[in-house]
Amino acid sequence: MKKLLLPTLCLFTVFVSGCTPTTSTRSFNVTYRVDGTADSVNIAYTNGGGNRNMLNDVKLPWAKTVSMTSGDTVALVIQIKSSGTAHGVVTGDKKEISSCDGSGNESMVTCAPGQLP
């Protein structure tokens, strides 16, 4: 009887706690890049923890690398403020995970691959 008690208690504990599996958190170096012929763009991007950063009147080319972890949301939004083009690329640990292109005054493009694995 004692041999069954311990496994039964362990199963009950897992059941009561919601059966949440333990997963490891992985770190990523996410790099946002924007280049093109536009004279000026506004850029919004997310960093670790899902915080959004906004930059105005950015001259191209532009790049930013941030440290993020599994489950963080990755997004890059580019607003072209003048005539010209903009090309955005998002890489995670040097592998491309999203790209986007736009052209024209006041146009907006989004590179939003979603959550990191």
CA distances from 22 to 15, 16, 72, 109 (A): 14, 15, 17, 37
Nearest alpha carbon to residue 72 among 54, 90, 99, 94: 90
Fill in the DSSP letter of residue 32.
E
Q: Tens-digit pLDDT profile for the chain (117 aa)?
A: 444 333 333 333 333 334 444 456 889 999 999 999 999 999 999 998 779 999 999 999 999 999 999 889 999 999 999 889 999 999 998 899 999 999 998 899 999 877 887
- The reported pTM is 0.77
Q: Where are the domains of the chain?
A: 28-115
The two tokens of residue 12 are: 């009950």
Q: Is 38 helix (H, G, I), strand (E, B) or coil?
A: coil
Vertex 58 angle, CA 67 and 72, to 5°: 25
CATH fold of 28-115 reads Immunoglobulin-like (2.60.40)
